[in-house]
Amino acid sequence: MLNYLKPIAWLSLILLPLFMTGCKNIETYYQGYNAESESTTPLTRGKNQQGRWKTFDIDLNYRYDHAENLLKISGTIDLGFYYEVNAVMINRLDVYLFFLDDSGKVIKTAALLRALPFEVEESLTFSKDLHVPPGIEAISFGYNGEARRSGDRGGDGVETFYDLPKRVKP
């Protein structure tokens, strides 16, 4: 009666390691890539540091405390005016914090926020405690997302948007 369970168990034992090896650690995302100098902020030690990182797509306001090798960061993220006017829903938004060396290269990536379908008027919040690797001089942010917009001809479309570090050309 339970003969079908044996093949499923064997298939699971074979496929699980394959799926696990395909997963990349988020800390290595964009490692070695360059953040644009105008989008970087020196990482200052101390309490109640604050800043703002704004692009066409998002407005990110943050506060952090940095002591030893720990960064406690929190903040809010709002979408830019373009999406408030032209999108009916945001399907997905991933926001990252990049730890940079003195030349602006990404040493480590941390996920700050993953938001799945949400209203464009919604203000998002995040709060993270992150380990700061040695040799970090600055931070930067990045994101990628997908907006659902309503077309003026009655059709709906999907628009992707992003701002991420650039690959270093050899």
In CATH terms, is domain 25-163 a member of 3.40.1000? Answer: no
Q: What pLDDT does 108 receive? A: 97
Mean pLDDT confidence for 142-148: 95
What is the C-alpha separation between 61 and 36, in angstroms, rounded?
19
Stronger pLDDT, 20 or 88, i.e. the higher one = 88
Residue 144: pLDDT band with limits 50, 70, 90: very high
Provide the β-strand partners of residue 159: 147
Backbone angles phi, psi at 50, to 5 degrees: -145, 160
pLDDT tens digits for range 38-85: 889 999 999 999 999 999 999 999 999 999 899 999 999 999 999 988
